Structures are given as structure tokens and as C-alpha cells.
Amino acid sequence: MCGIAACILENDKAAPILLGCVKKLEYRGYDSVGIATLNSSIIVEKDEGKINDFEESLDLSKFQGRIGIGHVRWATHGPPTRENAHPHLDCDGKIAIVHNGIIENYMELKNELKSEGHNFASETDTEVIAHLIEKYKNRGHNLEEAVRRALIRLKGAYAIAVISSDEPDKIIGARKESPLIVAKGERGYFLASDIPAILDHARDVIFLDDNEMVIIDDTGARIKDLEGNIKKKEYKYIEWTPEMAEKGGYDYFMLKEIHEQPQVLRDTLREINTIQRVVDEIGEIKRICFVACGTSYHAAFVGKYLFESILHIPTDVIIASEFQYTANALDKETLTIFITQSGETADTLNALRAVNKKSKTLAIVNVLGSTATREADHVIYTRAGPEIGVAATKTYISQLACIYMLAAAIGRKTEIVKDLRKLPDEMEKILEKEELIKEIARTYKNKSDFLFIGRGFSYPTALEGALKLKEISYIHAEGYASGELKHGPIALIEKGVPVVAIAPPPLPLKTGAKIVKDEEEFRNSHSLTLSNVKEVKARGAEVIGLGAEDDEEFKKNTDKYISFNPSIREEISPLLYIIPLQLLAYHISVMKGEDPDHPRNLAKCVTVV
Ligand code: AGP
């Protein structure tokens, strides 16, 4: 996720205004920054690093134009370097563009443009768009038509702002699956990825829809579709304060990031071809060893169940701080997979170094250019964007998506990815149940202990649900394999103890290539968890059930029930069933007067052992 901003001002110089706009978008990306303004020619300054350092180094006097574009980057294609920072230019420096999104077919377009003589200065997908526009301008089209023709060629997601010294009185914007707003203020017109960027200058906003362009000049803003038809849209007045706007109107970043998860999953699922390439580079794998901490460890745990159930590859999952005591069993036929959203967790880096070439290593990371990405043999990037809340939410979903796509790539089983594509819409439906989850939070917020139970794929979900509650509400919570209750934990059950039971419809048991037809066989993980639910209920527990909406047997044995689409079976349930547990932890934390974004004793990145 990056942040773009653009402005066409009546009298003021654009540069200082643009800098202020991109600073307000820093939560969307902060590994590099840049601005370009347009007078008779385009002036660009950009660099890797933080915005404040960039601002200190800038000589604003060289920027005379009243039109400009700006960008804060969260690197996706190409590490954070000056060359990869935005804005990007065409060959002659007459077109400048900033972009938020991922162009899936950029390599194909780049090869086409290179063969036509275009020279590239960066590794980014964005620069391809600048040269594609140049290509169509060189065919005699004006800027608007050249941008339109270029957009039609793009596959993927984009929000762009484009300026050209050949037409120095306009800005063109467009969006597809990445947000872009048009704002009108006293100083002039603005484009931005998000409301915080423009709130100091404008409050009348239009939210562009997918496949729409906007042409802004001194006569105003005109919106068109990609066929060139004018689209009539009304400005909406934004009441938010700047602080509210940075959180997208949510009270805390954590809640905003929970609600971003459907889009994060859509963005991460675009990586399937990249993941297939990584798998092909890795070659034969006979054994897998996942290594991670905290939430990333829970994602790895899901990976164990997935890889062993569909790939039949022996798979270990080891807590990173324990790994160095077991690293001696590795060999060249093992793939050790390190999952770390920050890429900087000391325990995980120590484990990575303990491998010491004994096995192939793969890192699944959210932060491009982080240490883990430089030390592992292979890297897969999640596409969660910056996660500001200390508690991991959307990075967990993107880690799981990468693990499922990794399994699909290793096993050449594309049906898994097809199943995953159903999930963003199902996530939206679960997020619409937030009021029910708030009511459950209100009921149980003063409890001192929670148990979370699940079997198979639902066991890691139980562990992650317990961790979320612990780390932001400070209530003691434990996740257990539900079959383990009778080996001790059930002694904790007494009247009123809340037990969260996770029991999605079980996956069909496959013995060999054959799917077992006997329905009873299907009920194994699910029916046994229901037995565990009845055992704790009989001892006075208050059961919060998570299961299929048509599961009457489960429902009648619970005090509260959160229902899911029955077509979402156990195998892909971890990506969906965790969402109500994130919301439950969040709302209990807020109802207890805690700050879920900054939980006590915790850091977003644990760089100590
Ligand atoms: C998760 O909510 C916690 N913030 C913590 O457990 C975290 O998952 C763990 O520290 C690992 O971080 P990493 O993914 O950056 O390595």
C-alpha cells in the first residue's frame, strides 16, 4: 500500500502543500518519498527514507510550479531505493506519474516497451505506466487519450496521478481497486489516496469508482469512464477531524486494519504467479520446517496441517526461540520456512542464521528490504501494507494466504486458490456481524479467564484467538486442542467460564485418492469438538460457538453463536474464523478502557531475544 497526492492550485506553489499532503499519508507507507512539480518543465526530487529527512534535505525554492504530484512508498516491486521511489518519468522526462497498487502484467509490458527503445531507470511496475503513456503520446494522442489507452492495457490495481510538461495545465487521475479521491478547496483541486492528505485544504470530496478517470484543469474536475463517457458525481462534505481521517474514521488502527482484510486478501492473492516462480526456483522439497513467533507461529501452524493434509509432506512447526536446539536435524532436502511480518524479529533471525546453509530457506515477509529478506535464500512478500496496530491482524491473513498459495504451487493444486477467492466476500459478511460480536464482548468483558478450543485447522485458530485477547485486553486466555481438555484443562471449567469453541464443517477425509463417502467419517473433527462442547457445558461453561449457520446441533449447545457460510469448510476456515475473534478481542479491550493500538509491555517488532 502506498500513498499518492496531487494538486492543481490557483496561486500557491504546489511543493510545500504536496509535502504536507504526503506526510499525512505516512501511515500508508514510509520507506521512500518523492514529489514532482510542473512549471514549464517537470522538477522531481525523491529518495528512500523517512519523509522528515527528505523534507530537511529539500530546497523548496527550485519548485516553482502550482501543479504537482507526491508519493509515499511501501515497497512492493523493487527494494526501497532512490531509483525505485516515485514519481517515475518517461524517457524524456516530460511525463511524471505516482501510483498505488500492483500491475500484474508489468514485466510483459516492460519487455514490449524495451523492444521499442524505451529505457528504464527503476525495477518498479509503476515506471512501466509512464512509458506506456509516452508510447501513446508519441502516436499523436493528447495526454487524456494516451492515459486512457495505457490504462486499458494494465492488469492489476492502480490509483495514479499523471502530469505532463506538454500539457502543463492539467492533472489526470484514475483508479482500479486502489482508492482515489478528488477534492475541491479554496486553493484549488486535489487528488489523494485517502482523506487525511487533503483535510487541511478541502472537505468537498468525490470518491472515484473502479475504471474511472478524472481530468483536472483550471475549469474544474471532469470524471469519465474508460470508454470516455462523462460520469456525473456529487461532492460529499467530509466532517472528520484529521486524526479520525488517518484511521479512516475508525477509533483505532487495529479496527481499521481488521476491516481492511478483505482487500488485503484480494491483493495478496495476486501473488500466485510470483509464488509459483519461487517454488520452481526452490526445486524438490522432501520435508518442511516452519519457524516463527507469536501470530506468525500460528500461521505456520496452519501451514503444518495444510501441507500434511494435502501435500503429504512431513512438516514441522517450531517456535523460533526454540529452533536453535533442533536445527541439527536439517538437510538439503528440507525447506525451512521463516514467517515474520516485520522481517526483523530477533528470535526468527537467530533461527534463520542457525540454519547456516544446512537447508534451503524461504522467508514470508511483509516488509520489503527487511533483514530476513536479505538473509533467506528465497522470499515471498505478503501484501498487507504497513500494519500500525501492534496486534497482528491483516498481516496474519496475508501470511495465511501466502501459505495456501505456496501449498497450491508446490502441489500444483489450483483448486485451493479458487476456494480462497471466495473468502473476501465471506469476510465482508462476517464484518457485518460486528454488532453481534460487540454484544458478546459486552457480556463477557469482565471475565478473568477464557478458553479457546478447536481441532485440526481450528487448533491454530484457537491459539491465535487466545493471543489476540491476551495481548490487547490483558485477560488470561488459553488456546487448546479441544481433545486435550480431558487431559487437564477441563479442571478449569466451572460455572460461567467462557469457552470459545471453533468447529467449522469438517473437510472430507481423503484416504488415498478416494474421498470417503461415509458422512460419519466426515464428522470426525467436528463431532468430537461438539462432544467437548457438551462436556464443558455440562460443567457450567458459557460457550461461544463459531460454526456453520445450518449447524443446529452445535448451535443448541452454545450460549452465543457466530455463524458462517456452510460452504467454508475446515480446510480454509482459518482465514475466516479468526475475524470474529479479532473483533471480540478488540471490543473487549476498548470496553475495558484499554488502547488496542498500543498494548502495555508490547512492541510491534521484537528486536530483542
Ligand atoms: C502478534 O499480535 C504479536 N504482535 C506478536 O506475537 C508477533 O506476531 C510476533 O512478535 C512475531 O512478529 P513478526 O511476525 O514480525 O516476526
Is residue 493 over pLDDT 90? yes
Q: What is the mean pLDDT of residues 266-290?
A: 93
Q: How far apart are CA 22 and CA 290, in angstroms?
A: 38
The residues facing 248 across adjacent strands are none
**Ligand 1: which atom is nearest the Cα of residue 294?**
6
Alpha helices in 171-252 (DSSP H): 242-246
Q: How far apart are CA 310 and CA 572, in angstroms?
A: 12
Q: How far apart are CA 375 and CA 239, in angstroms?
A: 47
Average pLDDT value over all residues in the chain: 92
Q: Which amino acid type is present at position 204?
A: D
Q: How far apart are CA 589 and CA 591, in angstroms?
A: 6
Residue among 253, 254, 321, 341 to mutate when testing ligand 1 (max atoms within 8 A of CB): 341
Is any ligand 1 atom within 6 A of the Cβ of residue 392?
yes
| 3-state SS assignment for residue 383 | coil
Q: Please name the residue that has the C-alpha cell 536435524.
A: 329
The count of residues in the chain is: 609
Q: How far apart are CA 71 and CA 69, in angstroms?
A: 7
Residues 6+ away with beta carbon under 8 Å from 115: none
Closest CA to 386 of 194, 174, 133: 194
The residues facing 516 across adjacent strands are none
Residue among 295, 317, 340 to mutate when testing ligand 1 (max atoms within 8 A of CB): 295
Residues 135 and 33 sit within 8 Å (Cβ to Cβ): no
Q: How confident is the model at residue 508 (pLDDT cuts 50, 70, 90)?
A: low
Give 390 Cα–ligand 1 centroid separation in angstroms: 8
* Grid cell listed for 469: 485477547
Element (DSSP H or E) covering residue 306? helix 294-306
Give 446 Cα–ligand 1 centroid separation in angstroms: 26
Confidence at residue 521, expressed as pLDDT on a 0 to 100 scale = 52
Q: Which residues are catalytic?
A: 2, 604
Give 293 Cα–ligand 1 centroid separation in angstroms: 6
Q: What is the mean pLDDT of residues 366-386?
A: 88
Closest CA to 599 of 245, 588, 385: 588
Q: How far apart are CA 100 and CA 445, in angstroms?
A: 39
Q: How confident is the model at residue 238 (pLDDT cuts 50, 70, 90)?
A: confident
Q: When comparing pLDDT for 564 and 325, which is higher?
A: 564
| 3-state SS assignment for residue 372 | helix
Closest CA to 72 of 106, 99, 43, 37: 99
Q: Please name the residue that has the C-alpha cell 475541491.
A: 184
Instruction: Give CA separation, 348 vs 46, 297, 341, 365, 371, in Å.
Output: 33, 10, 11, 11, 10
Residue among 258, 290, 296, 339 to mutate when testing ligand 1 (max atoms within 8 A of CB): 296
Confidence at residue 242, expressed as pLDDT on a 0 to 100 scale = 75
Is any ligand 1 atom within 6 A of the Cβ of residue 19?
no
For the ranges 72-81, 117-126, 154-163, 339-348, the lowest mean pLDDT is seen at 72-81
User: Per CATH, which fold does 433-598 belong to?
Assistant: Rossmann fold (3.40.50)
Q: What is the pLDDT of residues 437-464, one digit of tens each?
A: 999 999 999 999 999 999 999 999 999 9
140 — alpha (psi -120 to 50), left (phi > 0) or beta?
left
Q: What is the pLDDT of residues 328-370, one digit of tens each?
A: 778 889 999 999 998 989 899 999 999 988 899 999 999 877 8
Give 320 Cα–ligand 1 centroid separation in angstroms: 11
Is the pTM higher than 0.75?
yes
Q: How confident is the model at residue 249 (pLDDT cuts 50, 70, 90)?
A: confident
Is any ligand 1 atom within 6 A of the Cβ of residue 606?
yes
User: Per CATH, which fold does 250-428 belong to?
Assistant: Rossmann fold (3.40.50)
Is residue 513 over pLDDT 50? no
Give 472 Cα–ligand 1 centroid separation in angstroms: 13
Q: How far apart are CA 130 and CA 93, in angstroms?
A: 10
Q: How confident is the model at residue 465 (pLDDT cuts 50, 70, 90)?
A: very high
Structural domain boundaries in the chain: 3-245, 250-428, 433-598
- The DSSP secondary structure of 512-565, one letter per residue, reads TTEEP--HHHHTHHHHHHHHHHHHHHHTT-EEEEEEETT-HHHHTT-SEEEEE-
Q: When comparing pLDDT for 604 and 221, which is higher?
A: 221
Pick the CATH number of 3-245 from 3.10.20.30, 3.60.20.10, 3.30.590.10, 1.10.3720.10: 3.60.20.10
Q: What is the mean pLDDT of residues 477-493?
A: 95
Is any ligand 1 atom within 6 A of the Cβ of residue 525?
no
Confidence at residue 77, expressed as pLDDT on a 0 to 100 scale = 74
- Same fold? 3-245, 433-598: no
Is residue 509 over pLDDT 60? no
Q: What is the mean pLDDT of residues 131-135?
A: 98
Is residue 92 over pLDDT 60? yes
Q: What is the pLDDT of residues 179-224, one digit of tens each?
A: 899 999 999 999 999 888 999 999 999 999 999 999 999 999 999 9
Is residue 413 over pLDDT 90? no
Q: Max CA-CA distance within the chain?
A: 80
Is any ligand 1 atom within 6 A of the Cβ of residue 348?
yes
* Grid cell listed for 78: 523493487
Hey, which of 6-10, 193-197, 510-514 has the most confident mean pLDDT?
A: 6-10
For the ranges 237-241, 378-382, 455-459, the lowest mean pLDDT is seen at 237-241
Is residue 392 over pLDDT 90? yes
**Atom 12 of ligand 1 has which residue's CA nearest to it?**
340
Q: What is the pLDDT of residues 515-540, one digit of tens each?
A: 445 545 545 788 899 999 999 999 99
